[in-house]
Structure 1
Amino acid sequence: MTRRCRALCLSAPASNQGKTLVAAALARHWRNQGLRVRVFKAGPDFLDPMILERASGATVYNLDGWMGGMGHCRALLYEAAAEADVILLEGVMGLFDGPCSSADLAAAFGLPVAAVIDAAGMGQSFGAVALGLARYRPELTFRGALANGVASPRHEAMVKEGMPDGIAYLGGFPRQPRWQLPSRHLGLVQAAELAGLDELLDEAAEAVGKTGLAEAALPVDFSSGGSAQPPALLRGVRIAVARDAAFAFLYPANLDCLRALGAEPAFFSPLNDSSLPDADAVYLPGGYPELHLQTLAGNSAMKAALREHAAAGKPVYAECGGLLYLLESLADGEGREAAMAGVFPGRAAVGRRLAALGYQSLRLAEGELRGHTFHYSTLATPLAPAAHGEPLRGAGPGEAFYRCGAVRASYLHLYFPCRPEAAAALFLPA
């Protein structure tokens, strides 16, 4: 059983080529034309999808063949094709990078590929880069290259002059400083924090509409993933899920998985609320607690509610920023320290150097879960880890996984659809 929908994979030769802005501009261009747009982000990113969601007006899911498996990715695309006029996949890093690269996804699902290449400091060599991307894996349907950061008509003429026969030049996207999306230590600034973002996206959409990028999408047949419904292991379980500016790193597919398991999510804000929702378990996802130290520290009622919940033996699952919030204290990158919830013994401090990055698997008694870690903080705790993650690449143990009563916590951002039964156990009493 198949569904046909126009689609495009937008990639690049490397990170920092500007593909997120171009992808967001393209999604907004199509949306402004009255099309129903569904955007996906390759890889484990949380921040790019926030920009893409604002641009497209629809929830952005991650396509990650290593964390979720290709069958899961196929099911997500098939569901999107039922409601979309066009599907856009923004790639991760360079076109051929990673354990399940953008090229791997494009090849597996028959997606045509277009490349965004930063043309700054480059003229005719642009064509050589485009040629390499087009020819490295000939089985891909390579639709052409867009020159990003074109400074002038003369600059664009030099770029076009170097384009080889048979490789389409999709046009130039102008160098415009006011369109630059600001970043911080974990990636782009969250969309909700960017004033004037919609105006920026509309301007960029008008510019991308003058290129040939929108026409690079082609009809694609998406087949059913055939994914089975998980058992209702969480039927009747109400899970309080933290969601605000400090705790926003949450895969939409994780929420879908919890609902499929029978759980009922109830959202709350550790920044603004004084109590937890009536709930059987708490889910504290990652985010930026270090940017909101004083507000989190000052919300004594919420911290007390979390301690009371944990003391009653009710499950708490926390990952990365959620783990930091459970500690006794947290210091930001400037050395300012504040008291956190005190559910978990230990302290953490955000540093200026990357502490961990990469895919890891976590083997628990209930099964293996896969996820990703990316943080600048370091943790000191007297607790002995109950398990360690296993890095996909690299030697030595990965991230520690802690159990303290019914509290489970780790730096890992786990992807629940890879093993729903194991994910369910995180929210059930020990």
Structure 2
Amino acid sequence: MGHIYISAAHKSSGKTSLSIALCAALTRRGLRVQPFKKGPDYIDPLWLTQAAGRSCYNLDYYTMERDEIDQTFARAMQDADVGLIEGNKGLYDGLDLDGSNSNAALAAQLDSPVVLVLDTQGMTRGVAPLILGYQAFDPAIRIGGVILNKVGGARHEAKLRRVIEHYTEVPVLGAVHRHPDMHITERHLGLVPSNELASSAGQIQAMAEHVAREVDLEALLALADSAGPVPGLAEVPMPATGRPRRVRVAYARDQAFGFYYTSDLEAFERAGAELVPFSPLQDTELPEADGLLLGGGFPETHLETLAANRAMAAAIRRFVEGGGPAYAECGGLMYLCRSLTWGAKQGKMGGIIPADVVMHERPQGRGYVRLMETEHHPWPLGGEIAAHEFHYSALENVAPEVAFAYRVVRGHGIDGKHDGIRFRNLLASYTHQRDTRRNHWVARFVDFIRECRA
């Protein structure tokens, strides 16, 4: 089974659109395409999942051990024909000076050939030193081909191809011209999630048609076949399973709330929890459940609908005030506050957390975080937590008696010093956790649900 790593010279080169289109184009050929995304990200994986028809998995050095990345990759690849890993930012970008957590490092670890996506707007002869420089920077990284993106027309494509063929030995795998439907609408957190767009399926198919015409898919698959071998299932330790008494966890999943990692949802099943979806936008009652999970999303873009659904807000409030165990992240935290303001729009929210949410023009918290638990955490790990945050909102008028479950070591959280509001058996924070070997938060939360319901 082959695999390729889609990267770029820099951010906003169009690699996400191309990755989505490639997943869809290869799937249309009858191949089982397994998508992956480097780093912490919810939105790109939603698109990749829809394009491939298979759940996308995140691979992230900050929250995962290196061998854990290998194992996650191998397990997901077992019944796939080809794997596609979409990078983040540029090929050599990363937190550390030595590049040990860069896209290049991950491609080397997985032994995946790199396809470099190049934004060629305003570029002709300059494409050659760009490619040569990326090759020379780290000769151990195998750049197996380039895809020219945002090409201005046939003449522009011809010039670019002649330059690359004359000065380099890197194959041109495709030249994707400027097409309006290759552009996915963006807003403050990046791409608009596919679960919010009724037109997403049609757009993905249009993107796949462009790529099928303008990329040599046979050459791409041949390059993927040159990748290193994927370990067999017998060589990969499986996560532990088997927990006492099953519990039911109601989790918010609709156009406003959809930020969940595939591996975290699988961890709920392993912990003995049945996940029951519900919609804060459309439903008026919670499903019968022992615990409640409110993930991230975009409550601000659905402000009026959420504010109008007082029945659901009241149902959640009854659950939490009655001692029901609940966990909320980012958008879920926002929804549980008194009010949400975005520009001229304002609406009532859940009214459980004594604070008001205000949207800002710039990010209030963005990137990786490190947290230390306080004595107020309802289901503690017992150590430092590595996670991430990305929010344009901030809490105002926070009641002084609020108890915080975390002290922020790195990042911003709620006020630059604290995160994780504890109210009865609810924990609500801006931080997004990942269930990994370093932090099995799902099992701890599910065990807490059992304790509360005992």
What amino acid does structure 2 have at the position aligned with 1:347? D
> Are 1:405 and 2:424 an aligned pair?
yes
> In structure 2, what is the Cα distance between the partners aligned to 1:29 and 1:263?
36
Deviations 1:311-345 (A, max 9, x none): 2212110110000011111112x231111111111
> In structure 1, what is the Cα distance between the partners aligned to 2:19 and 2:139?
24
Aligned pairs for 1:27-426 within 5 A: 27-99=23-95, 100-163=101-164, 164-209=167-212, 210-212=214-216, 214-215=220-221, 216-218=223-225, 219-223=227-231, 224-229=235-240, 232=243, 235-332=245-342, 334-364=343-373, 365-367=380-382, 368-380=384-396, 381-382=398-399, 383-391=402-410, 397=416, 400-419=419-438, 421-426=440-445
> In structure 2, what is the Cα distance between the partners aligned to 1:229 and 1:113?
33
> In structure 2, what is the Cα distance between the partners aligned to 1:230 and 1:21?
37
Q: 2:160 is paired with a residue of what secondary structure?
A: helix
Structure 2 residue aligned with 1:11: 7
Gaps of 5+ in 1: none
Deviations 1:49-90 (A, max 9, x none): 122122111111111122233233222221222110000001
Q: 1:162 is paired with a residue of what secondary structure?
A: helix
Contact 1:237-1:264 within 8 A present in 2 as well: yes
What amino acid does structure 2 have at the position aligned with 1:328? R
Contact 2:75-2:236 within 8 A present in 1 as well: no
The alpha-carbon distance between structure 1 residues 91 and 79, as it changes in their structure 2 partners (threshold 3 A), is: same
**C-alpha RMSD of matched pairs (Å):** 2.2
> In structure 1, what is the Cα distance between the partners aligned to 2:2 and 2:411?
34
> How big is the shift at 1:19?
0.5
> In structure 2, what is the Cα distance between the partners aligned to 1:150 and 1:372?
35
> How big is the shift at 1:306?
1.1
> In structure 2, what is the Cα distance between the partners aligned to 1:153 and 1:422?
53
> How big is the shift at 1:235?
4.2
> How big is the shift at 1:147?
0.8
Deviations 1:369-404 (A, max 9, x none): 3321011001121224232233279xx956512212
The alpha-carbon distance between structure 1 residues 370 and 225, as it changes in their structure 2 partners (threshold 3 A), is: farther
The alpha-carbon distance between structure 1 residues 75 and 325, as it changes in their structure 2 partners (threshold 3 A), is: same
Gaps of 5+ in 2: 96-100, 374-379
When normalised by structure 2's length, the TM-score is 0.88
> In structure 1, what is the Cα distance between the partners aligned to 2:246 and 2:434?
22
The alpha-carbon distance between structure 1 residues 392 and 160, as it changes in their structure 2 partners (threshold 3 A), is: farther
Structure 1 residue aligned with 2:377: none
> In structure 1, what is the Cα distance between the partners aligned to 2:183 and 2:349?
34
The alpha-carbon distance between structure 1 residues 129 and 235, as it changes in their structure 2 partners (threshold 3 A), is: farther
The alpha-carbon distance between structure 1 residues 339 and 374, as it changes in their structure 2 partners (threshold 3 A), is: same
Q: 2:90 is paired with a residue of what secondary structure?
A: coil
Q: 2:256 is paired with a residue of what secondary structure?
A: coil
What amino acid does structure 1 have at the position aligned with 2:120? A
What amino acid does structure 1 have at the position aligned with 2:160? V
> In structure 1, what is the Cα distance between the partners aligned to 2:318 and 2:76?
41
Contact 2:241-2:271 within 8 A present in 1 as well: yes
The alpha-carbon distance between structure 1 residues 159 and 140, as it changes in their structure 2 partners (threshold 3 A), is: same
Q: 2:74 is paired with a residue of what secondary structure?
A: helix
> How big is the shift at 1:420?
5.1
Deviations 1:177-211 (A, max 9, x none): 23211111111112133354334333332332342
Contact 1:125-1:159 within 8 A present in 2 as well: no
> In structure 1, what is the Cα distance between the partners aligned to 2:324 and 2:41?
30
Contact 1:145-1:168 within 8 A present in 2 as well: yes
Deviations 1:113-137 (A, max 9, x none): 1110100011111122222222222
**Deviant stretches of 4+, over 4 Å:** 396-399
> In structure 1, what is the Cα distance between the partners aligned to 2:181 and 2:303?
30
> In structure 2, what is the Cα distance between the partners aligned to 1:399 and 1:139?
43
Number of residue pairs matched?
423
What amino acid does structure 1 have at the position aligned with 2:389? T
